[in-house]
Amino acid sequence: MTTLSLYAPGTRVYLPRESEEEGWITAEVVTCTKVSADALKLVLRDESGQETTLTGTLPPLRNPPLLESADDLATLSHLNEPSVLYAVQSRYAQRKIYTYSGIVLLAVNPFEPVPLYTPEIVKSYIGRNKGELEPHLFAIAEDAREVRWIFLNSRLKLTDGCDESGAGKTESAKLVMRFIAAPKAPATNADQNSFVDGASLVEQQIQATNPILEAFGNAKTTRNDNSSRFGKFIQLLFDSNRQIVGARVRTYLLERTRISYQTTTERNYHIFYQLCAGLPSKNLESLRISADYSQFHYLNQGGPSSAELSDRDKFHATQDALNIIGIDAGKQTSIFQVLAALLHLGNINITQTRTEAIIEDEDPAMVQAMEFLGVNLTEFKRWTIKKQITTRSEKIATTLTAPQAVQVRDSISRFVYACLFEWLVTAINESLTGKYGDAAARAETHIGVLDIYGFEHFEKNSFEQFCINYANERLQHEFNTYVFKLAQDDYVKEKINWTFIDFDDNQPAIDLMEGKLGILSILDEESRLPLGTDASFLQKLNAQLDKPANKAVYKMPKFANAAFTIAHYALDVTYQVEGFLEKNRDTVPEEQLALLTASSNPFLREVVDTALHRVGEPVEPPSPNGAVSKIPDPGRTSLVGTTGRGTSVKKPTLGSIFKGSLGTLMDMLRTTNVHYIRCLKPNQHKMPWEFHPSQVLAQLRAAGVLETIRISTAGYPSRWTFETFARRYYILIHWREGPPLIKREQWKRITVLVLQKAGIDKSKHQFGETKIFLRTGVLATLEALRSARLNAVLFMQTNMRRLIAMRKYRHFQRSVVAIQSHWRGATARKAFHQALEKSLKEAEAAREAEAAKAAKEAAMAGRESRAGGRKTPTSINDRSTASTGSPSKTKIRKMFSFGSKEKSALVLPDQPSPEPPLIGRQPSRLEAASKRLSRRSWYDTSTSSSRAKSPVKSPNRAKTPNHLAPPAGHSSKMPTPIYDQFMKKPPWNSSTNLLH
């Protein structure tokens, strides 16, 4: 694929901001014009809509959306700084703090507790391969443990280092150890050796090392509240049954100067503050200290001046840990006395006279310190303000100035604390491996966890920062070599053509520091000279190293006379030479050393002996049964080289001690399978979930992650097995070819057809034995083609689904309307018939009531008539007939008016029972007419008396049958409410429309 096609219109790229600290922004190519054979003119539009023109310089390409938040940076098609940074940032925004970068796990500090280490999550990662679940510390630890079982004789190392202080290395190391110390066990032993269901004694002891070493070896710094001020390497030992049997702890370069000096924003070691905050008042009084530690010179130089609640809680945790590893209450009291003695040593008042330094004989701080240390007060005072020079013939005592006497006092404090720290490490190892190393003798394999200080760069950098950065240079070199070796081994294994790739090597910087004529050699030489000074040391450095061959790594600062600069792999660091010689010597006068070894305090004698008498002796005494450990011991170097009690032969400098122990560690790392964990600090303010791109990018560069990616980019960064590649991209070939080949599992054939169909140049890929190797950018091209093919398929599927859905919808709509119509009709008819039936029943009831009433009134009228002696019944409405006994002519005419429309006007008079006819006499005309009228069928005999009195004339009466007559008081039509409700079409209501 040509460069012009890579930057086609619509391509997404990264555009750098005005300053590098602001990071990158995303943009899109608007136009791409070729101005020359190797130059393009691009018009870019960023997120805000602003257009930018670039000529010649090509911006970094963005990855496809599928890969932008990939959990493994090695799978990115475009491996560049902004792509890597954006992937880490996007995952961090999703509360995912872990990301793979090939063999490296990147861990971004969230600066708050996260629910990622619960027993349920621990169980989910046990027995799972790396990549099956989300990136996690436990996945790396499980991978190391599984490889350990496959290669039983190999040694696995999980390393935390080369990272910035405060990035979370110590916490990560603790979590990894906790996971590894809980091996997989059968169901019957699920409650043993597992921190998920219950901790074994060995695991409890391993976990107890963390609070002890943190209390005595960690301190608050400018960038980290719990910074490790020493290097730590822990070996977890396993037997042939996959059970953990013990552990070893090795430490490197404790920062001793912190005992006597801290900056205004830092603190001394945690244990001093825990002691003041956690001990009961009675115990504090016995040690002559208080919770207000501002009264002590060694504690009031930085940090708060009052005890904190967290210090009190952590002190109790430290006490519990000491009990677990076997240090009883009596030994703990002795430890606290030594610590209190160091605090009192710092308060010894040394003043300057005209010619010498003096100390008051009854100085209360000196009295308390000597009481706890068991050292002669007079001799201590004498050799603090004086020094003895030994010549061939005699010994001469000379006086010291006040600053020199203070230096002697502080050197004693630093030495005693270093001896106490070494004694604690020895006690821990005896607890974890046994007094004679029995656990180590039973071990068959091990896993090591290295937690070492990160790269440091402050405003003022001294000897400690030089040693720390020197260790990080060595570790970074091993990291680059290991990553490069893995890539090369993969190429050789797959038998592909491979050309050696050159990469930025930091070996010149290492040679500058540890070479025969390097900085450490010159420093040791100058330290052994009686008249050596920091100025003479710097002068020798410039004379020996300021040469054209070293101009890339050694520099002389322009505005600093007493300093030199080294170009490290991360950045250039300027070191002030003030104090280099004194810190490198770190010696205690022979007279003071003799006083300490002859102390009346048995615990102090044990502590000093443990620290001094280890040269030439094995770290673990030989076992009585003669068993020897198969696991190599990284060793431990003595603080002072001696051949006898208190007799020094040639005191090794601190720099030479550190160089030797670091070399031993590197030799061990080269023989192991290493898993790297890189911890990143997202911001300097320790704010939760706040991400500063410029700071993280600088750490990615310093940690070598970007350099590793560059090495991978130079080769074939994308490596896929044939099956994985074929299953993902087979849709790019003809649809008739793909399924048959998949059915026959011809994965390599599918891979070849895909690359041919995509038009990938042969120089962009190589076929291995089981994998396809792709150059950078090829995967993005394939993803773009795959996305285009899927979009076309999705477009067709979407439209077809739409047509089918619309057809179903219309059929459903018609069905719903028909059902609604039939249902409304049936409901209306049913309601109409019910209303009609009800109306008829009401009308019938009304007629029956009227008939009953009329009959009752007629009966009453008949009784009244009979009571008056009338023989001929008369009409109720015609009272005039009562007197004459016969109806009037007008009434008769009305009675015989059969055409009258008002039938209610005809009233049948109440008649008594018919009299028997007169024998021999013909009925009168009136009697005959009455008889005929009584036989008429239409005559309403139930007419009430009220109708007889007030007849209602209705023009339709003759046309309406009697049994269909409406109730009284109503018209002949159906009542309007019932008719409107059930016979008329109801108004349209959206709530009754089933289609809505």
Question: Read out DSSP for 283-306?
Answer: HHHHHT--S-GGGSTTTSSSS-SS
Q: Decide if pLDDT at 737 tops 80.
A: yes
Tokens in use for 397? 């005592």
**209, 228, 318, 656: which is the annotated catalytic residue?**
228
Q: Decide if pLDDT at 636 tops 80.
A: no
Give the residue with greater pLDDT, 310 vs 195.
Answer: 310
- pLDDT tens for residues 7-55? 888 888 888 876 655 678 888 888 888 877 777 888 888 888 888 888 8
Contacts 24+ apart (CB under 8 A), 949-955: 949/876, 949/877, 951/902, 951/904, 951/905, 952/902, 952/904, 953/901, 953/902, 953/905, 954/901, 954/902, 955/901
Contacts (Cβ under 8 Å, ≥6 apart) of 275: 289, 315, 336, 339, 340
Q: Decide if pLDDT at 215 tops 90.
A: yes
- pLDDT tens for residues 467-493? 989 988 888 888 877 777 777 777 888
**83, 101, 165, 672: which is the annotated catalytic residue?**
165
Check residue 227 and give its pLDDT: 82
Structure letter (DSSP) for residue 269: B
Give the residue with greater pLDDT, 203 vs 93.
Answer: 93
Give the residue with greater pLDDT, 225 vs 188.
Answer: 225
- pLDDT tens for residues 246-301? 888 888 878 888 898 888 888 999 999 999 999 999 999 999 998 888 889 999 88
Q: Under DSSP, is residue 639 helix (H, G, I), strand (E, B) or coil?
A: coil
**How far apart, in whole angstroms, are the C-alpha atoms of residue 744 and residue 672?**
41
Closest CA to 278 of 242, 243, 307: 307
Check residue 228 and give its pLDDT: 84
Domain assignments of the chain as residue spans, ordered by start: 1-62
Q: Does domain 1-62 have CATH number 2.30.30?
A: yes
Closest CA to 698 of 163, 121, 195: 163
**How far apart, in whole angstroms, are the C-alpha atoms of residue 728 and residue 786?**
9
Summary mean pLDDT of the chain: 78
**How far apart, in whole angstroms, are the C-alpha atoms of residue 880 and residue 13?**
122
Check residue 196 and give its pLDDT: 42
**102, 448, 454, 518: which is the annotated catalytic residue?**
454
**166, 217, 448, 518: which is the annotated catalytic residue?**
166
Return the beta strands (E) in 585-699 as ranges.
642-644, 647-648, 673-680
Check residue 942 and give its pLDDT: 45
Check residue 190 and give its pLDDT: 38
Q: Under DSSP, is residue 159 helix (H, G, I), strand (E, B) or coil?
A: strand
Check residue 21 and give its pLDDT: 58
**227 is an active site residue:** yes
Q: In what order do the strands lie in the sheet with 39-46?
A: 12-16, 24-36, 39-46, 51-55
Closest CA to 698 of 15, 16, 101, 23: 23
Tokens in use for 570? 């991360």
Q: Decide if pLDDT at 195 tops 80.
A: no
**How far apart, in whole angstroms, are the C-alpha atoms of residue 219 and residue 225?**
7
Give the residue with greater pLDDT, 444 vs 815.
Answer: 815
Check residue 782 and give its pLDDT: 86
**What phi, psi does 387 have (nearest 5°)?**
-135, 155
Q: Decide if pLDDT at 870 tops 80.
A: no
Largest alpha-carbon pair distance within the chain?
A: 200
**164, 255, 422, 456: which is the annotated catalytic residue?**
456
Please report how many Cα atoms fall inside a 13 Å half-sphere around the Cα of residue 755, on the Cβ side.
Answer: 21
Can you tell me which residue has the tokens 């322009």? Answer: 558
Check residue 875 and give its pLDDT: 46
**165 is an active site residue:** yes
Q: Is the dihedral of CA 900, 903, 904, 909 positive or negative?
A: positive
Of 415-419, 726-730, 777-781, 955-959, which has the strongest mean pLDDT?
415-419
Give the residue with greater pLDDT, 640 vs 206.
Answer: 206
Task: Give the confidence band of 806 by pLDDT, cuts at 50, 70, 90.
Answer: very high
Task: Give the confidence band of 189 by pLDDT, cuts at 50, 70, 90.
Answer: very low
Can you tell me which residue has the tokens 């992650």? Answer: 705
Give the residue with greater pLDDT, 917 vs 746.
Answer: 746
Check residue 986 and give its pLDDT: 52
Percent of the chain scoring above 70 in pLDDT: 76
State the Cα torsion 653-657-663-666 to the nearest 10°: -130
Check residue 192 and give its pLDDT: 37
**166 is an active site residue:** yes
**How far apart, in whole angstroms, are the C-alpha atoms of residue 463 and residue 89?**
35
Which helix H or strand E contains 850, and what residues bound it? helix 778-867
Q: What is the CA radius of gyration of the chain?
A: 53
Check residue 332 and give its pLDDT: 94
Closest CA to 100 of 77, 68, 71, 139: 71
**Cβ atoms of residues 54 and 39 within 8 Å:** no
Lowest-confidence pick of 95-99, 484-488, 959-963 = 959-963
**712 is an active site residue:** no
Structure letter (DSSP) for residue 461: B
Structure letter (DSSP) for residue 62: P
Q: Decide if pLDDT at 676 tops 50.
A: yes
Read off the amino acid at residue 686.
K
Q: Indicate yes or no: pTM above 0.75.
A: no
Check residue 53 and give its pLDDT: 87
Rounded-to-5 percentages of helix, strand, coil across the chain: 50, 15, 40
- pLDDT tens for residues 875-921? 444 444 444 445 555 555 544 444 444 444 444 444 555 555 545 55
Check residue 638 and give its pLDDT: 47
Closest CA to 410 of 460, 459, 458, 369: 369
**456 is an active site residue:** yes
**How far apart, in whole angstroms, are the C-alpha atoms of residue 730 and residue 738?**
6
Q: Is the dihedral of CA 357, 361, 362, 366 positive or negative?
A: positive
**224, 251, 413, 943: which is the annotated catalytic residue?**
224
**How far apart, in whole angstroms, are the C-alpha atoms of residue 964 and residue 354?**
144
Tokens in use for 767? 């076929």
The average pLDDT across 823-849 equals 93
